[in-house]
Amino acid sequence: MKIISLNVRGLGKVGKVRFIWVRDLICFYSPDIFAIQESKRENINDFIIENLWGNQNYEYIFKSTVGFSGGLILIWNPLKFSVSQAVEKEFFLAIKGKWAGKDYESIVVNVYGPHNDSHKHKFWESLENIMQVNIVDWIICGDFNEIRRDSERKNCVFMDHRAKMFNDFIDRAQLIEIPLGGMKFTR
């Protein structure tokens, strides 16, 4: 299984530099699933997704931007991940299905978390509740808009109590941070 998650901070239009960069990334790595956060798009269509994905062998779900931020896109290869259910919620997109050649279900979630502290706690709680009802393998990727350690962010004020609450959520939800390659702030 190959999953790429990317906060693009604005996808742009077909043919623009950032759009081409994302398309080239997809073509080079050929992921089974590609999760985009902060597309900043109000709408998406098959033409845009096909230009990003590079071929016609895809399915996707999309959540439009709210105001000046957000926008989620989750694209997958149906020959690699067969989706039985797709869900759009306020701060995430999720697909439930089976990987090719596997008999068990998994849920893949693309998150773009809220910035407001009270909304964060409600979001984390709702995600925990959903996870408790669906006892399957979970893969959560995206941007929670929160940090776990002081070393994860440059040029900002680290708030220990916020990191502690986020780490407590991760522990309660029994999430495991998988070591990944790439840039310094890859998660």
Q: Inform me whether the pLDDT recorded for 160 exceeds 50.
A: yes
pLDDT of residue 98: 97
The CATH classification number of 3-172 equals 3.60.10.10
CB atoms within 10 A of CB 55: 10
Contact partners, residue 27, CB within 8 Å, separation at least 6: 54
Banded pLDDT at 185 (limits 50, 70, 90): very low
| Helix, coil or strand: residue 23 | helix
Residue carrying the six token digits 């098959």: 46
Residue 35: per-residue pLDDT: 96
Residue 56 CB-half CA count within 13 A: 0
pTM of full prediction above 0.85: yes
Rounded to an integer, what distance in angstroms lies between the CA atom of residue 62 and that of residue 42?
10
Among residues 118, 99, 115, the alpha carbon closest in space to that of 107 is found at: 99
Q: What does the alpha-carbon distance between residue 110 and residue 95 come to, in Å, rounded to a whole number? A: 9
Residue ranges per structural domain of the chain = 3-172
Q: What is the pLDDT of residues 104-129, one digit of tens each?
A: 999 999 999 988 888 998 999 999 98
